Structure 1
Amino acid sequence: MSPKQQRGAETAQRLLDAALAVHEEGGSEQFTVQAISAASGVSLGSLYHHFGSADGLAAALYSRCMVALLEAVAAPLVTARTARAGVRAIAAAYLTFVAEQPAAARFIHASSASGYLAAHAETVATAKKPAIEPIFEWARPHVRAGRIVDLPEALLEMLIIGPVAETARRYLAGVPGLDLDEAIRVLPDRIWQSVRVSAEPPPESEPDPEPELSHP
């Protein structure tokens, strides 16, 4: 990367950092290019040069946050020794990410009703693919072996991620009575029960260490 390209990449990251901070502080109402330009110290002209539009910047920030989430979810699968351990680790890692990076998680969930995701769907999908593929690659052998239900991957994703994503949405919205620590303790095994093939309880000797996931 040339010095000019390096400076451009640093400017783009500074804009994304500022955009996330602006959204966390003021929500969607304060999420404007003027506020982001002021917070970052980067001119509006440079902002438009790097992202094309306000929607382009928002889509880029969404992609960055989503990739970080997916990478956090995939990370514990490297050491998951069983299908059960892996499914539980995915669910716990999602909720742990929410606890540890609430600003990124809040932006992800706030973006669900936005127009920029549809307008930049192809770009977002391209950014997400390398991050989500390791999760599917981990699951496929377990599906073929009959340990996890054989469903289209999009539906399997909904069964595993859907419950924790909705939990995260409500937690971030401040719904009373929702304890994230309790969700991390309780939901992963319930989600495993929804995707395992056998209705019988697993043998007591099945190696399945508790996911080493926590948050401050």
Structure 2
Amino acid sequence: MSPKQQRGEATAEQVLDSALAIYAASGESGLTVGAITRASGVSAGSVYHHFGSLQGVHNALALRCLGRLLDELVAELRRTTDARSGVQAIVRTYLAFVQARPDEARLLHSATADHESMAQAGRIRDSQEARLTPFALWVRGRREAGELTSLPAPVIEALVLGPVTAVARRWLSAGDVDMEEAARTLPDHIWRSISP
């Protein structure tokens, strides 16, 4: 990578770091190009050059947060030896990520991120393919081994991640979920829905 490319990547990361800090402090309404330029020291022209728009900054930040979550999920999933321990790893890792990185989790679970994920689902899946492939291979391998029900992979994914996402959203918005209890009990409930 050339020095110019390295500087460009460093500038983009600086913008994203500043955008996350602004989002954490002021919410989505506080996330403006002006706020980003003041916080990062990067010019507005540079922000537009790297991201195209404020929505481009938001999308890139959401993809970065999603990438971090997926990296942690895949790393833990690879340490498991059977389907049940895999479900436990996914649930516990997801909930731990939400607790450890609540600002990133709030952004990932925001209405804007939801809207973008619906509108750009194919592009997002393509951009995260390297991170999603291990999960797809895990599901296929565990189904072929008879450890998971024979439902289609997207349905299994929804049965595993749907309840975890709902618990995360509830904790992030209302704070009335005991995350330790959820990490203990949720895997068994999910397991019952996908076990053979």
Give your verdict on TM over 0.5: yes
Amino acid of the residue matched to residue 7 of structure 1?
R
Between the aligned residues of both structures, percent identity stands at: 43
* Partner of residue 98, structure 1: 98
CA contact (8 A) 1:20 1:104 kept: yes
Displacement after TM superposition at 1:122 (Å) = 4.6
Q: Which runs of 4+ in 1 moved over 6 A?
A: none
Residue 121 of structure 1 deviates from its aligned partner by 4.4
Question: Residues of 1 paired with 2:45 and 2:14: CA distance?
Answer: 14
Query: Is the 1:88–1:191 Cα contact (8 Å) retained in structure 2?
Result: no
Shift of 1:123: 3.9
Alpha-carbon distance between aligned partners in 1 of 2:95 and 2:149, rounded to the nearest angstrom: 23
Instruction: Calculate the TM-score normalised by the size of structure 1.
Output: 0.85
1:53 & 1:90 partners in 2: Cα distance?
A: 34
Distance verdict in 2 for CA 1:111–1:65, change over 3 Å: farther
Which residue number corresponds to residue 203 of structure 1? none
CA distance in structure 2 between the aligned counterparts of 1:118 and 1:23, rounded to whole angstroms: 21
Structure 2, gaps ≥5 residues long: none
How far off is 1:62 after superposition?
A: 0.8
Q: Corresponding residue for 2:186?
A: 187
Cα gap change, 1:54 to 1:110, in 2 (>3 Å): same
Residues 22-65 of structure 1: CA deviation (Å, up to 9, x unaligned): 11111111111111111111111100000011111111111111
More helix by share: 2
* Structure 2 contact 74–134 (Cα < 8 Å) conserved: yes
Separation of aligned partners in 1, 2:128 and 2:111: 15
The corresponding residue for 1:27 is 27
Over 3 Å counting, the alpha-carbon distance change for 1:113 and 1:100 in structure 2 is closer
TM-superposed CA distance for 1:132, in Å, is 1.4
Gaps of 5+ in 1: 198-216
The answer on whether the counterparts of 1:59 and 1:117 sit within 8 Å (CA) in structure 2 is no
2: CA distance between counterparts of 1:68 and 1:50?
20
Alignment match, 1:12: 12
Q: Is the 8 A contact 1:84 1:192 kept in 2?
A: yes
Query: Does the aligned pair in 2 maintain the 1:55–1:116 contact within 8 Å?
Result: no
Residue 76 of structure 1 corresponds to: 76
CA contact (8 A) 2:107 2:113 kept: no
The separation in 2 between residues aligned to 1:132 and 1:113, in whole angstroms, is: 18
Contact 1:59 1:124 in 2 (8 A): no
Aligned positions, number: 196
Question: Could you tell me which residue of structure 2 aligns to residue 127 of structure 1?
Answer: 127
Alignment of 1:147-186 (within 5 A): 147-176=147-176, 178-186=177-185
Deviation at 1:95, TM superposition (A): 0.5
Distance 1:32 1:183, change over 3 A: same
Matched, 1:87 2:98: no
Q: Secondary structure at the match of 1:80?
A: coil
Between the aligned partners of 1:62 and 1:112, the Cα distance in structure 2 is 10
